[in-house]
Chains A and B, each alone.
Chain A
Amino acid sequence: MPESIKNRKKEWERTTLKKVLERFPEQREIFTTGSDKEVDRIYLPEEELKGDYLEKIGFPGEYPYTRGVQPTMYRGRLWTMRQYAGFGTAEESNSRYKYLLNQGQTGLSIAFDLPTQIGYDSDDPVSAGEVGKVGVAIDSLKDMEILFDGIPLDKVSTSMTINAPAAVLLAMYIVVAEKQGVSRDKIRGTIQNDILKEYIARGTYIFPPAPSMRLINNIFEFCSTEVPKWNTISISGYHIREAGSTAVQEIAFTIADGIEYVRNAIGVGLDVDHFAGRLSFFFNAHNDLLEEVAKYRAARRIWAKVMKENFSAKKEKSMMMRFHTQTAGSSLTAQQPDNNVIRVTIQTLAAVLGGTQSLHTNSKDEALALPTEDSVRVALRTQQIVAHESGVTNTVDPLAGSYYLEQLTDDIEKEAWDYINRIEKMGGMVQAIEAGYVQKEIQDSAYRYQKAVESGDRVVVGVNKFTVEEKEPAGLLKVDPALGKIQAKKLQDVRNTRDNRKTSDTLQALGEAAKDTKTNLMPFIMEAVRSYATLGEISNVLRKEFGEYRESIVL
């Protein structure tokens, strides 16, 4: 090993590694291969490289974090296995969560139905047919109390896929915790809270960009003092990729979103090192194993540079890109669904070899319907097999130094920077979205991909090659069609039993507060939630003040 690297390794061991080992010892003394050969914590170049190893790749847990955000990675602690779940009523979801926790899952991940995600009550006419379909229906604090009944909120970390009304759902969570006797500083979790990618790719927006950004800033500010362990945003490339982007576009647009959030928060006077450590990311894991691994590594490197150089962050935590990963829903096929288990396995490996902090693995039947309990278990087992049997967790960033992988990492980084710079030139992400630029780039990629599949140029096993005649598996999970009515009835009960004077007072106070752009709305939302104001009522008050976003589609 060249002297320069040997010396740096010693320094790394003395500083970065030591600090972590003192607090979080590794899971074993010695890690070994399947045939009992000892595995080192980290492997380094044996010969002098062109000279940029230290700047570009470096050591795990150190800038620019190409090799990972922790020095010991999975030797210290495995990633959090977190299955996104939720459907039907709060009662049904509650029992699914308890099942998952019993199966060894280590964190909760809540899926909400579309009316909840767009701030409509279950009895709103636009909610027709959608109640409880893609997630759980939450109308008021009442539902949230049921959802977490018997689940101690100081023991679990909870991730909520909620964006436009994130402030409301977070407020509900805090109040439920309080009712359990768990104080705000003890609760841990994440809200997605990433409105920009809703405009770009996912579509569950409510308000226009300016007030949406304000709500996000309000959450950053509130949480930095009140709920310090909460991850206030999960800047998501997942849906951008699902919409058909390339791997490069996925990280480029996600990081450009991140830049916009940071710039905005700094713009309203927040100190970057106060909130940046609570930013987290969310990426997709696709089938091209090595490209995906390179993607995560490139993303970490870019983000570290952005935070250090563009935003002058000082704290290491502010520069670390921590991310959640979900395997690619769009890669699952309705044909020969068993094959999806293999796809998910490859994707799991990609995420783990890329150094993810948490992972959701899709169930094989998700291209057909909501996953059944059996298929959710296989998906979770996939993670557990990779974690405990594959051996890839024994050493940190095992693929580093592969000629191909490092080249890919560099190429992806470069192409992503090109996009990021172009978006900056356009005046930032909000402008780029309003101009339809980002959407158009993604659509074009999606179109090219689909054409290639249709021409057979790209093989999708079981779809355009190796097909069989088949019958669809039986026993798919369905949501009770009467759910809308049940939920509407529950909602009516809430409206009948709450103190309606108080509710309307808190709503009115919220509306007033919304008028002044300087006011932090979180405390007002908390009060409204506490008085059992519904999600729809709260959202409508804000709709009135903020207006609604209109999609800017380019065709």
Chain B
Amino acid sequence: MSEKIRIEIAKPGLDGHDRGAKYIARALKDAGYEVIYTGIRQTPESIVATAIQEDVDFVGLSLLSGAHNELFPRVVELLKEQDAGDIIVFGGGVIPEEDLDFLKTHGIQAIFRPGTPISDVIAFIESTRKGHAA
């Protein structure tokens, strides 16, 4: 038995458009990862509590309402506060290019915008996973 990559897929905020989140969750499962799906209307607090309890390697956040600049950085911040800054956070959804830098500097390590193939997400996971020489 070996280590498995565990990934939390969560939807912060209030928007209910979970098509993308569910697709990612299912596609990552098909790619061999263990995916913890938390459903819609999650707060940054519940997302972080879940990440820690589930001992995940990655947290993927999906948001289409435009509240990403408020909610994504908050997740990173709370992870750090709770001594879990090593958990890698990435995001997806309707996110304008001009926000990408802001999110990067606030610790969101990758943003996947609509139309990104799942292979890009997998490539990101494989290149940043723990133990992988970066």
A–B complex contacts, Cβ < 8 Å, 28 sampled: A114-B14, A114-B15, A117-B14, A118-B14, A126-B41, A126-B43, A129-B13, A130-B14, A130-B65, A134-B65, A134-B66, A204-B16, A242-B19, A333-B114, A333-B115, A334-B113, A368-B94, A368-B97, A370-B66, A446-B23, A447-B23, A450-B27, A454-B117, A454-B119, A463-B115, A478-B96, A551-B39, A551-B40
Q: Which residues of A contact B (CB under 8 A)?
A: 114-115, 117-118, 120, 126-130, 133-134, 198, 201-204, 242-244, 330, 333-335, 367-370, 443, 446-447, 450, 454, 460, 463-464, 471-472, 476, 478-479, 481, 551, 553, 555
Q: Which residues of B contact A (CB under 8 A)?
A: 13-19, 22-23, 25-27, 37, 39-41, 43, 65-67, 69-71, 94, 96-98, 113-115, 117-119
Q: Which residues of B contact A334 (CB under 8 A)?
A: 113-115
A203 with B40: in contact, given A114-B14, A333-B115, A479-B66 (CB under 8 Å)? yes
Main secondary structure of the interface of B (DSSP, over half): loop
Evaluate contact between A443 and B22: CB separation under 8 angstroms. yes
Q: Which residues of B contact A133 (CB under 8 A)?
A: 65-67
11 additional A-B residue pairs with CB within 8 Å, beyond A203-B17, A454-B119: A114-B65, A129-B71, A130-B13, A201-B16, A242-B17, A242-B19, A243-B17, A243-B18, A368-B94, A368-B97, A551-B39
CB proximity of B11 to chain A, nearest CB, Å: 9
Among residues of A, the one whose C-beta sits closest to the C-beta of B25 is A555
Q: Which residues of A contact B71 (CB under 8 A)?
A: 128-129
C-alpha spacing A368/B13, complex, angstroms = 18
Evaluate contact between B16 and A335: CB separation under 8 angstroms. no
Evaluate contact between B16 and A198: CB separation under 8 angstroms. yes
Q: Which residues of B contact A202 (CB under 8 A)?
A: 16-17
Q: Which residues of A contact B67 (CB under 8 A)?
A: 128-130, 133
Task: Please count the residue pairs between chain A and chain B whose beta carbons lie under 8 angstroms apart in the complex.
Answer: 99
Evaluate contact between B39 and A553: CB separation under 8 angstroms. yes
C-alpha spacing A118/B14, complex, angstroms = 8
Evaluate contact between A369 and B70: CB separation under 8 angstroms. no
CB proximity of A181 to chain B, nearest CB, Å: 36
A115 with B14: in contact, given A368-B96, A369-B66, A479-B66 (CB under 8 Å)? yes
Q: Which residues of B contact A471 (CB under 8 A)?
A: 97
Evaluate contact between A446 and B19: CB separation under 8 angstroms. yes
CB proximity of B80 to chain A, nearest CB, Å: 19
Which one of A130, A330, A333, A370 has the greatest number of beta carbons of chain B within 10 Å?
A130
C-alpha spacing A242/B16, complex, angstroms = 12
Q: Which residues of A contact B19 (CB under 8 A)?
A: 242-244, 330, 446
C-alpha spacing A279/B113, complex, angstroms = 37
5 closest cross-chain pairs (CB), A and B: A203-B16, A129-B70, A129-B67, A114-B14, A472-B97
